[in-house]
Amino acid sequence: MKRKMNKQSGFTLLEVMVVVVILGILASFVVPNLLGNKEKADQQKAITDIVALENALDMYKLDNSVYPTTDQGLEALVNKPSSPEPRNYRDGGYIKRLPTDPWGNDYQYLSPGDNGNIDIFTLGANGQEGGEGVNADIGNWNIQDFQ
């Protein structure tokens, strides 16, 4: 009578552990790079939004000779302000909708600004003045620091 050899296929515990260790080592290199790219992407979105808002505000000023007041805010780019009412407001406004910053907050606006005629800025991920890295304030006066 012949005995059948039981051939088991599969991985040994040692082989599985070696693969897990290799994956862990790879992840330790990949994850920090992905997180750094997310922060950079968020900063680039904020810069793009701020430049677009500044351009829309410049068009507003060309038509109306003044920037919207701080009280009118960036909303003046979407809806015609009532007081003081602009002389030559464009039908349909200057942008379709106001963007929010990459962290879900509204962009801030001052006219006159502390750093120029107007200030457009985000307070970063923490929503508070100051900060570094992802929490840094990004404004139309310091965009070059983030490029």
| Closest of 118, 46, 104, 43 to residue 76, by C-alpha | 118
pLDDT at 24: 72
DSSP state at residue 45? H
Q: What is the pLDDT of residues 64-118, one digit of tens each?
A: 999 999 999 999 999 999 888 999 999 999 999 999 999 999 999 999 999 999 9
Q: What is the pTM of this model?
A: 0.76
> pLDDT band at residue 134, thresholds of 50, 70 and 90?
confident
For the cut 80, the answer to whether the pLDDT of residue 144 exceeds it is: yes
Q: What is the pLDDT of residues 3-13, one digit of tens each?
A: 666 666 777 87
Q: Can you tell me the mean pLDDT for 130-144?
A: 91
Return the CATH number of 41-146, one of 3.30.700.10, 3.40.50.1240, 3.30.420.40, 3.40.50.970: 3.30.700.10
What is the token pair recorded at 142?
A: 């310091």
95-111 core/surface letters (b: 16 or more CB in 10 A; e: else): beebbebbbeeebbbbb
Q: Can you tell me the mean pLDDT for 119-137?
A: 92
CB 95 within 8 A of CB 77: yes
pLDDT at 109: 98
Q: What is the pLDDT of residues 20-56, one digit of tens each?
A: 778 777 776 666 666 568 888 899 999 999 999 999 9
